[in-house]
Each structure stands twice: as C-alpha cells, then as structure tokens.
Structure 1
Amino acid sequence: MGESPGRRSSSRRHHTVPRFYLKRFANADERIMRVPLCGEQAPRLCGVKDVAVHNDFYSYPDGSGQLDDSVEIALSKLEGDAARVFRMVVEEECWPLPGPERKTMARWTAAQYLRVPARRQAANEMFDDLTKITLAVGGKQELRKRLEAESGGPVSDEEVERKWAEKTDFSSYTVKAPVLHHLASMAGGISAASDVLMQRGWVLYRFKRKALITSDHPVSLVRDPRTPHWLGAGLATAEAVVIPLDRRVALMMSTPGIPDRTKSPSAALAWDFNQRSAYGARSAVFHHPDDTPLVGVELPSKRTREMRASHNPEDFIRPEPPPGA
C-alpha cells in the first residue's frame, strides 16, 4: 500500500470508516444519526467527522521512534479513487461497472473489511492467548531463561517464583500485538481479498422508498447455511458479501461466475440488509437523520470479544517439565 515511509498525514484522527462513505448516510450539513448498540447511550446527531474516529489508528513507530503514516496516506488515496466509483454507481447509475472501476470497488471493499477495529482486536486476542499459552507450556525453566536473557545474568529462585506467580495470573493483564502486525496483515491481504471479490457476481439494489443503515463495520458476510457451525465465515467462504453503498443503494457480492446485474428490491430485503448491518456493528449503527430505518431491527449488545477459544491458557500450565523431558 506503499507511500514513502516516514511521512506524516495532516491529522492524527483516523477514520476507520471513511468520511466520503459516511456522508452518503448524512444530511446536507454532514450530520448523521449515531445509534449506539443496546446498553449504550441514547441516539444522537453527530458530525460525520466525529464518528468512527480513532487517534493514530493506522500509524506505527518507524526506526527513529517517529510515527509513520504511510498506511493512512495509502488508504486516503484508495478512498479518493473509490469515491469517484461510488458517484458513478449511485448518482450516474453506471452499472455494471467497467473493469478498472470494478477493481477499485473490490479493493475498497476488501480494505474496508480488513481495516476495522474488530480485525485488530481479533489479532490481539489471538496474540494474547498464544503468548500466555507459550509461557504456560514452557514453565519456570523457560521463564528463567527469558529472565536471564533480559537481565544478562543469573536470576534467583525467588525472582523466578515471583515472576511465575505474576505472569500466570492471566486474567490480570493482556498482551497486545504490535500495531504493525495488523497493518502488515491488512496491506498484504487486500490484493488477495479483492481477487476473491472480483470473482463473485455482483448484484445491485436501488431502493426508492426504504432506507438503509450502515455501521462502524459496514461489510457484512452472509453465512452459507451448509457451513459447519464451528467454522467461521470469511470473504471466500461466505455465501455473499453485502455492503450498503448509500441510504438507497446496496451491493451484494454473490455467487462466483454469474454476471453482474441489478435486481428489484423489496421491503423485506431492506429489513434484511439493515438487520445484517446491525449484527455486524461493534459499537453503533448510522443512518440519515430524516430516515426511520430501524423499525423492526434488533440491535445486539456491544461485542466484547471477537474470538472464542476452546481452552484457556490456565489449562496449559506446567510449572515444571515432565520427568525425562
């Protein structure tokens, strides 16, 4: 996603959902209705510039310790290209898209799927679990080696015992992966993910009366009912990928191999898309201030975890190596 490293963007406030996209669900004053998930605050009218914002979310420290914004700069370039394609689809009613513009839409959708906070949280949860499991399996012997490497000399039994008690109190701390892990995964995954989306048949729906919502995680996956319950859904394995492009337009990336086309919308389909957007949200959904699209839509509770492991790190604790090891 390269720009030259070390460049700083003009703002530390990074949108994890682009402003140009959110404006499509806002009024002329760029105000949008933010509806928190169940248990959160009341709905309120917000400026587009103030929603889905995280400070320095795409920045990472370079070799000199300065924040590098090359990822944010590359995303901004992709957003500029995508905004033009959105105008072609929504305002100019250009469909199917020509090849280059279709590829831009695929890349933007792939990037949007990979860039959101949920992806980073999932990576952090996996990193936390694996770090703690490695410590538990290694036992005090491996902990001693690590402490001696850090201190540059021998450590006492008392220090090992103290550190072991501290580090195996797993619920008292979390270990986060370096930010660069998520950014590298995102940058490396966009091309492969967009290739998968390019192979799908795209279906466009234009709604005249019913309004659509979006969320802080706007790309939704339609799970294939034939998929085993224990297997997750991804861009390649989902039955379809859905993203609202505008308060009146939705795109469904469906079965591979079929031609791109438009289909007639319905009230039931609008509700289905809105319910999927709500279920995909992590903190809030958004809609145009003049619309009432949440009638009959269930808002879930705020999600606290992205992953569920079948075992806890405590299950792997081995303070001492087994006999003969």
Structure 2
Amino acid sequence: MGNGNTAKLHHYVPQGYLRGFAGTQDRVTAVPLDRSRASFTTSVKNVAAQTHFHTVPGANEPDGFEKMLSVLEGEAVGIIRRMEAGEFPVSEEARMSLSYYLALQAVRGPDTRKTIERLQAKMVRVEVGAGGRANVTRWIKKNLGFDATEEQAQRIWDEATQPGGPPITISTVGHIKHMIDTAEHLAKYLVTRPWLLVRFDRRSLITCDAPVSLIRDSSDVDPWEGVGFATAWGISVPITRKLGLLMSDPMVMIERFEAGDPMIQEIRAAVVGGRLDRTERGTTAMERLFNEHTAESAREYIYCHPDDVRFVPDELHEPTLINMDAGGFMDAEFDGEPWFGDGALSNAEEDAGTPRIAGGA
C-alpha cells in the first residue's frame, strides 16, 4: 500500500536538468511543435511531466521507480554542474554514470511508450490477420485466455485487422523494464565514444522533451535508412544553455576491434578514461548543429531560457510521439483467409510487457 506521500507528477525530463536552461525563478519557455499553439513561459515543474507516468498500481511503493530515478538524476545533475564549473574530462566513474543517465533519458519519454504500443499493435494485427478469420477464436483462447462468443470474435477481428492494429496499452511495469534493459544496452555506445565538451559564450543552446539526438554521417549514401546509437556519426546532448556534449564517431574503436588490433584494450581504456576527450569554444556553426538536431529530436515541445527563443530554428516538424514504425507486410490487407494452409499462428513478442486489447473479456 502507498504511504500517503506518493508523488503524482512524474517528469520524463528531470527538473534538475531543465534548470540548466531556466531563467529567474526556474522558469523556461516552452515552444510547441504545433505552431498553431503559442509559446509560454512557466516553471520547470510544469513541463515534460505526466501524472503518475511511472506509478505502479498495487505495489507496496507505487512511486518507487520515480524515487529511484530521482537518485540517479541527482547524481547526473551533480556531474553536469561540475562540468559546468570546469571539471573535464570527468572521472571514469562519472563517465559511466552520466552515460547511463543519458541512455535512460533517450528511452524514458512518452514517445518510447507510444512507439512500443504502436509496434505491438502492428504485430498483433499481422498475427491475427495471418491466421485468418476462422481461427480468431483459437487465437483469443491462446492469447487472451477465454472462449469467445461469435460476437466477441468478430469485434476482436475487426479491431485487430484495422489499419494500425488494435488499441494496445502496455503496463507501466512493461515500460519500466524496457527502459532499464534498453538503457543498459545503449550506455556502452555513449561511454566508448570520444567526448567533446563545447562551451558557449554569446550563443546559447535549447533543449526539448527528447534531448539526446543522433547525428547521421554526412556521407551516408542511404539517408532514408534509420540511424541508431551504434551507427550514428555523433550523439549530441545540450547539457545546459551554455554547455553542449558531443559524443563523436566511434568507428576508430569499431574498426580496430574488427581488425583484431592487439591495442584495442589500450584504446578503449584511453577513450573510457577520457584521454581522447577535449573541450572546444562554441561557434555559430556548432550552436546550429546542436540546436537543429535538438529541434529535430523533439516530440512535442522545445524548451529554452526565456532570453533564448531566437535560437529555436524557424523550421520545425509536426509533433509526433512515434519515433519508429514498421511498414511492408505489417500494413498488408487481410481478406479473412489464412496466410498458411493450416491457419498456424505465431506468438507475438513480449519484450515490452503484456498488451491489453480493447474488446477482450
């Protein structure tokens, strides 16, 4: 049971981090990607948050994960403040801690949750549709655990095979597990890159609701393909309005590792130990690199110091909470006939928690 002191408003971008972009009284300006809406200035406690976003209903401590995040965020913000004060390179321990914090930041927002739900919905759509209409009751029994009436079977068939798939909601526990597992995997792609800390004087950086940005290699011949943490030329993060962190090309390590270079462990030690890190004075070009990628990474809002609105790029994309999608056979049309002669069904992946499908028992 809860102890009566459960936090209700959960931030998916930490307040301590946002204060690095705030003006007096911890106020930031929020710029909606939906340009039909006006920008506004408010306290950092009012932005990048949702009510009970991390609450686990029925747990002994429903906001236990939120409290754990607060400890991790406090450590990371402390490292950022020391970097701001001139400490760089940071210790190997601090590098590990900050890398995990940034990896977690990349997957903790509503966009990750919505994307998981979208992909799971499409998976269920293909699974049900490929099995054929005659096999829906069998699929319901196997996956939802009840014997469906004809009316229920028809409703689930209609919902499952509609464009985009059925309405699916993953559990908070499913999202939390995905966050922890994915952040542990992604952190290694941050810690093993050379770090460039850029200090700005006259120009400033903006941030957003998804501030970890992947930078594509400018020589990429297939710009339509996605870019990931392992393949990105760089990963940029606005640390404060006057401090940007650019984690640059990891290919030196990757190529030497693949070539079996006997010096790879020494090279890794040099990278992780910060011996390849450097500091650079911010330029107009570097400000634009950070701010344009931050704006591109944003999902719904850009945040900045009230005096820095002029650094928000003029061209902004439409808001979206989907950061990945699947097409091809996932969007196939179904005519009710099974794709396989025996109507065999496959199991949907369960790597993000058990989905709840509207129309069930």
- Partner in structure 1 of residue 280 of structure 2: 263
* One-letter amino acid matched to 1:260: D
- Partner in structure 2 of residue 122 of structure 1: 115
The yes-or-no answer on 1:184 pairing with 2:201 is: no
- Partner in structure 2 of residue 240 of structure 1: 234
- The CA deviation at 1:104 is 1.5
- 1:29 is paired with a residue whose SS is helix
- 2:18 is paired with a residue whose SS is helix
Aligned counterpart in structure 2 of residue 87 of structure 1, from 65, 81, 84: 81
The yes-or-no answer on 1:278 pairing with 2:295 is: yes
* Residue identity (%): 30
- Partner in structure 2 of residue 54 of structure 1: 50
Structure 2 portions without partners, runs of 5+: 254-270, 343-361
* Conserved? CA contact 2:117–2:168, under 8 Å: yes
When structure 1 is superposed on structure 2, of 301-310 and 76-85 the one drifting more is: 301-310
The yes-or-no answer on 1:311 pairing with 2:328 is: yes
Instruction: List per-residue Cα deviations over 1:255-304 (Å, max 9, x = no partner).
Output: 23560111232112112211111111111111111224336542222126
Output the CA distance in 1 between the equivalents of 2:341 and 2:154: 22
TM normalised by structure 1 equals 0.87
* One-letter amino acid matched to 2:229: L
CA RMSD, aligned part only? 2.8
- Partner in structure 1 of residue 90 of structure 2: 97
Cα 1:60–1:141 change in 2 (3 A) is: farther
* One-letter amino acid matched to 1:72: E
When structure 1 is superposed on structure 2, of 33-42 and 145-154 the one drifting more is: 145-154
Alignment of 1:126-165 (within 5 A): 126-147=119-140, 155=149, 160-161=153-154, 164-165=157-158
* Conserved? CA contact 2:159–2:166, under 8 Å: no
* Conserved? CA contact 1:24–1:245, under 8 Å: yes
- The CA deviation at 1:74 is 1.6
* Conserved? CA contact 1:212–1:248, under 8 Å: yes
* One-letter amino acid matched to 1:177: I
* Conserved? CA contact 1:9–1:72, under 8 Å: no
- Partner in structure 1 of residue 348 of structure 2: none
- Partner in structure 1 of residue 213 of structure 2: 220
When structure 1 is superposed on structure 2, of 301-310 and 246-255 the one drifting more is: 301-310
Instruction: List per-residue Cα deviations over 1:175-196 (Å, max 9, x = no partner).
Output: 2233322211111122222122
- The CA deviation at 1:215 is 0.5
- 1:293 is paired with a residue whose SS is helix
Count of residue correspondences: 317
Output the CA distance in 2 between the equivalents of 1:111 and 1:204: 20
Output the CA distance in 2 between the equivalents of 1:119 and 1:283: 13
* Conserved? CA contact 2:232–2:249, under 8 Å: no
Output the CA distance in 2 between the equivalents of 1:300 and 1:104: 32
Output the CA distance in 1 between the equivalents of 2:291 and 2:248: 17
Cα 1:7–1:201 change in 2 (3 A) is: farther
* Conserved? CA contact 2:118–2:164, under 8 Å: no
- Partner in structure 1 of residue 350 of structure 2: none
- 1:221 is paired with a residue whose SS is strand
* One-letter amino acid matched to 2:289: D
- Partner in structure 1 of residue 9 of structure 2: 13
* One-letter amino acid matched to 1:69: D
* Conserved? CA contact 1:136–1:314, under 8 Å: no
* Conserved? CA contact 1:202–1:254, under 8 Å: yes
Cα 1:313–1:33 change in 2 (3 A) is: same
* Conserved? CA contact 2:300–2:319, under 8 Å: yes
Structure 1 portions without partners, runs of 5+: none
The yes-or-no answer on 1:252 pairing with 2:246 is: yes
Alignment of 1:39-50 (within 5 A): 39-50=35-46
Alignment of 1:20-35 (within 5 A): 20-35=16-31
* One-letter amino acid matched to 2:173: L
* Conserved? CA contact 1:203–1:263, under 8 Å: yes
* Conserved? CA contact 1:212–1:293, under 8 Å: no
* Conserved? CA contact 2:131–2:340, under 8 Å: no
Output the CA distance in 2 between the equivalents of 1:272 and 1:163: 47
Output the CA distance in 2 between the equivalents of 1:154 and 1:275: 52
The yes-or-no answer on 1:231 pairing with 2:225 is: yes
Aligned counterpart in structure 2 of residue 109 of structure 1, from 98, 102, 105: 102
Instruction: List per-residue Cα deviations over 1:5-35 (Å, max 9, x = no partner).
Output: 9888631110010000001111131111111
- 1:42 is paired with a residue whose SS is coil
- The CA deviation at 1:319 is 2.0
